Amino acid sequence: MTARLVVCSTCRFSTEEPTDAAGLSGGRRLLDAVSAVVEAEGADDVRVEEQVCLWACSSHCAVYLTDAGKPAYLPGRFDPTVDSAQALVAFARLYAASPDGAVAYRNWPEGMKGHFIARLPAP
C-alpha cells in the first residue's frame, strides 16, 4: 500500500514568525524536508503531497496521513526540521505497511509522540 502524506505548505515557521529568515513558511520547510527524506530512503510506499492549509493552523506544522480503507491521522505541532520529517516518514511507512492502519505505540518514532491531533474514520 502507498500512504498519502499531505503536508500543509503554509503553516507558520514558529508561533512568533510566519516565515524564516529566507521567507519560507514552516510548512514549506517541512514539506521540503519530508520530500528529501522520502527520496533519500527511496520510500515508494509514501506519496508526499502538498496542501495549502489543513485548517489546523494553531497546531503548526500540520500534516494529514491517509491510505485507502484505513483511518486517517492528523498530527501537528511539528518543528519544520529534518528530525520531524524523519519521524513523519518513519510513521507513514509503518502505517502504509499496516493492513488496518494501526501502528503499535511501541513502534512509534519518538518524534511522533505528543503530536497527534485527530484520528479520522476511513473514507
Residues lying near ligand FES in the complex (CB under 6 A) are found at 8, 10-11, 27, 53-57, 60, 62
> What is the DSSP-derived secondary structure letter of residue 42?
T
Compare residues 43 and 63 and give the one whose CB is closer to ligand FES.
63
Nearest approach in angstroms of CB 118 to ligand FES is 13
Compare residues 25 and 86 and give the one whose CB is closer to ligand FES.
25
Nearest approach in angstroms of CB 105 to ligand FES is 25
Nearest approach in angstroms of CB 52 to ligand FES is 7
Residues composing the chain: 123
How many C-beta neighbours within 10 Å does residue 51 have? 16
Contact 46, 89 (CB under 8 A): yes
Compare residues 46 and 62 and give the one whose CB is closer to ligand FES.
62
Per-state percent for the chain, helix, strand, coil, to nearest 5: 35, 20, 45
Compare residues 57 and 82 and give the one whose CB is closer to ligand FES.
57
Nearest approach in angstroms of CB 98 to ligand FES is 25
In 3-state terms, what secondary structure has residue 50?
Answer: strand
Q: Where are the alpha helices (DSSP H) in the chain?
A: 26-41, 82-97
